Structure 1
Amino acid sequence: MALNAFSTPWGEMGTAQAVQAEAAGVEPSPLHNPVLLKPMGDSVSQVIVKGQVLGHWSAGEYHRSLSEELFPLAAEALEELLSCSDLVVMEGAGSPAEMNLYSQDLVNLRMARFAGAFGILAADIERGGVFAALSGTLDLLHPMDRPIVGGLVVNRFRGDVSLFHEGVRFLEDRTGRPVLGVLPLMPGLSIPAEDSLNRRDFGEGELRVAVISLPRMSNFTDFDALGEDRCRVTFVSHPGEIRGADLVVIPGTKSTLEDLRWLKARGFPGALAEALGGGAVVWGICGGYQMLGLSVEDPFGVEGGGLRGGAWASAG
């Protein structure tokens, strides 16, 4: 599940999987991300299968029935990759121990079981709770799935790794699995973020770019290049924060109307008009560009419906 997408000649895939393909030295293909979910609201996602849009489903519909139908298609993609590769590395999503969804899990242990894969359980120590995360996850797994996990990795360790030697011993004694590595935090690593949890301000240039943090913003990594081009990029949530910016961006979104309602409720139209009057440039991308129009309509309710009038309507 991701709103950061990458386009290929064969259709769309997640940016994270495209980056991983580049790291592996192969051309990104929707086979590397056979099922992509692009959220369009709090409980509805666009479902993309092997690069092509299949339709829109609620979270309940997806987990009750569609995920079961999609598993054979994901398995076909894996088998096609295995036929032309020496090694295939599969990445899970979220936690493999989301017990409310365990029986419908498509992307973690079920696929690893199908492939007969050697599983590695990784945890981000930067977020805290790494001992509970690794040990607790293994404890929660179904007994038939625990043997899949053959080793542990601690990721994004900050500081002197020798201070974690006792932690390695604890994890190995507690879980009965080897710790295969303790990977350092590399803050300067310029890899596009997979989701909004990793979104942050960046750049130290003389030009200030204010990107409005729409609740359902997509492809926020579009702005990464600006940090290397004399720009200081900040993500803002309140109208007053765009004051003094040289460029204000209304980013892309898969839920144009819902995010436009949010934009108006926060008072951004007036602030945008003020920014324009002060000499700033306002730049809309995709759904953000639609918001700058005189009218936005959704007669078939694809994105919620019910709203007419662009972002400028309430700004006079």
Structure 2
Amino acid sequence: MSGAKLGGGLLVAGTTSDAGKSVVTAGICRWLARQGVKVAPFKAQNMSLNSFVTREGAEIGRAQAMQAQAARVEPTALMNPVLLKPGSDRSSQVVLLGKPVGEMSARGYHGGRQEQLLGIVTDCLEQLRGTYDAVICEGAGSPAEINLRRTDIVNMGIARAARFPVVVVGDIDRGGVFASFFGTTALLSPQDQSLIAGYMVNKFRGDVSLLEPGMEMLRGLTGRATYGVLPFRHGLGIDEEDGLRVSLRGAVRESVVAPPVGEDVLRVAVCAVPLMSNFTDVDALAAEPGVVVRFVDRAEELADADLVVVPGTRGTVKALEWLRERGLADALLRRAAEGRPVLGICGGFQVLGEHIEDEVESRAGSVDGLGLLPVRIRFEREKTLERPSGTALGEAVDGYEIHHGVAEVLGGEPFLDGCRVGSVWGTHWHGSLESDGFRRAFLREVAAAAGRRFVPSPDTSFSSLREEQLDLLGDLIEEHADTRALLRLIESGAPADLPFLPPGAP
């Protein structure tokens, strides 16, 4: 490992949510992997509806799965031991070591289990440290959430337990980055401040020399260095924890692949249902030249769509009510009657069925679905977590399943353990569109049904695009961060002489 000791590590924190922690963590992992370092990502606690199933059947955040890919290692439950999946504004499903253990309110979660959870996450981290040369941890939100510090297991709580140095990332595109760096540090206790090694500026536009006086003043005020200024780049996000971003679309449109093929464009509308999960399923569609993907919440926005996708959701019954309230359900029924393509994935598949029995997720009991597919759904307490493989449209397909609803398929044409009736498809398989041959065959059928002359590119490889993106993140760190200083932090920890900034939090 280029001189770093076994079991070294670093925690990447942020001044805010969406400051760039996930991207910086993935970039550091890819940069280290290129140097021959055996590195693993780690996030003690993640709150996200965007999840993934590992080969051992554990559910973890998709961001950690992509960070593992950046590190060129297989993702495991050790890399994200606690996953919180919101089911409302006040409660979440708690997934512990890859398996759901129940629903809990925010007050209940922060009220009594933190000591036990801290023991679990530190044990996972120690297992990774015993296996890998370096572990790059990602924090959550901000380490200066002083109202939650007593129960924190993902920011300074895990950093202090592991004695890991912390680099704080700030999004300068939002403004106020120097105040955010200073304020984040000053709010922390002396013990926590002793681990804040320095800062990293993210999303900078312009001449870096103009920023240098501010970084020197910041060093004078805090005694801490800035470890890099990362330039703004479109399309460099990895799979988002939440939000409505198509992760690869920006990069693809900036000539990662050839211009659109054929004489036409396919327009894909994704219904932005409540508690939407695994919306990254449509990334592979957006990666195709000539395919335009947008998220919609009004019935009229389906009018010009060649394909409508009803994505996964943590609230199937709530999504069904939302579709009906907004007139989207009627629009989907009209589309099906006209033979215009609709694809339902996981919760979206369940919505398209005839009937739902739910005493688990919504506890709504018996609910009529849209009736577009001959399927009956029964929610079970045990969650299905699988990595299926199969064939569809004459092509090999891989996917992953994350759902409580069990489908009884009563008719139609078999389709990825779901079914197809005319131009309406439904499946529980997430990630199926990442299989290149199947995606092309599916888009050819969509184009034919929509009367388009669209031809999918034979050269688009989703896995290659993903690798190119991760390499771009590694380039960002290698070219714009102080990599020697980062290696010293990973090897030796935070400098011993870091000053304390009053007032500090208790």
Report the TM-score when normalising by structure 2. 0.59
Structure-2 residue corresponding to 1:275? 335
Shift of 1:198: 4.5
Shift of 1:307: 6.2
Written as runs of structure 1 = structure 2, the 5 A alignment for 1:1-316 is 1-10=47-56, 11-189=58-236, 191-196=238-243, 198=245, 202=249, 206-229=265-288, 230-298=290-358, 300-305=359-364, 308-311=367-370
Unaligned runs of 5+ in 2: 1-46, 254-259, 373-506
Could you tell me how far apart the structure 2 residues matched to 1:32 and 1:211 are?
30
* CA distance 1:149–1:193, change in 2 (3 Å): same
Overall identity of the aligned pairs, in %: 47
Given that 1:126 and 1:157 are in contact with CA atoms closer than 8 Å, whether structure 2 keeps it comes out as yes
Matched pairs, number = 312
Shift of 1:12: 1.2
Shift of 1:199: 5.5
Name the Cα RMSD after superposition.
Answer: 2.1
Given that 2:246 and 2:283 are in contact with CA atoms closer than 8 Å, whether structure 1 keeps it comes out as no
Shift of 1:171: 2.3
Of the structure 1 ranges 34-43 and 184-193, higher mean CA displacement relative to structure 2 is found in 184-193
What is the one-letter code of the residue matched to 1:117? Answer: F
Could you tell me how far apart the structure 1 residues matched to 2:272 and 2:298 are?
9
Shift of 1:197: 6.1
Shift of 1:131: 2.1
User: For 1:127-146, what per-residue CA distance to the aligned partner results, in whole angstroms no more than 9, with x for missing partners?
Assistant: 33322221111121122211
* CA distance 1:189–1:301, change in 2 (3 Å): closer
Could you tell me how far apart the structure 2 residues matched to 1:20 and 1:200 are?
14
Given that 1:201 and 1:235 are in contact with CA atoms closer than 8 Å, whether structure 2 keeps it comes out as no
Shift of 1:174: 2.8
**Matched residue SS, 1:144:** helix
Could you tell me how far apart the structure 2 residues matched to 1:240 and 1:162 are?
49
* CA distance 1:198–1:210, change in 2 (3 Å): closer
The structure having more radius of gyration, on CA atoms, is 2
User: For 1:256-276, what per-residue CA distance to the aligned partner results, in whole angstroms no more than 9, with x for missing partners?
Assistant: 112222222112111212333
* CA distance 1:201–1:145, change in 2 (3 Å): closer
Of the structure 1 ranges 117-126 and 170-179, higher mean CA displacement relative to structure 2 is found in 170-179
* CA distance 1:246–1:171, change in 2 (3 Å): same
Shift of 1:59: 1.2
Shift of 1:278: 4.5
Could you tell me how far apart the structure 1 residues matched to 2:217 and 2:318 are?
48
Could you tell me how far apart the structure 2 residues matched to 1:241 and 1:200 are?
22
Q: Comparing both chains, which one has the higher relative contact order based on Cα–Cα distances under 8 Å and sequence gaps of 6 or more?
A: 2
Unaligned runs of 5+ in 1: none
* CA distance 1:221–1:183, change in 2 (3 Å): same
Could you tell me how far apart the structure 2 residues matched to 1:133 and 1:277 are?
54
Of the structure 1 ranges 257-266 and 232-241, higher mean CA displacement relative to structure 2 is found in 257-266
Of the structure 1 ranges 208-217 and 158-167, higher mean CA displacement relative to structure 2 is found in 158-167
Give the 4+ runs in structure 1 shifted more than 6 A: none
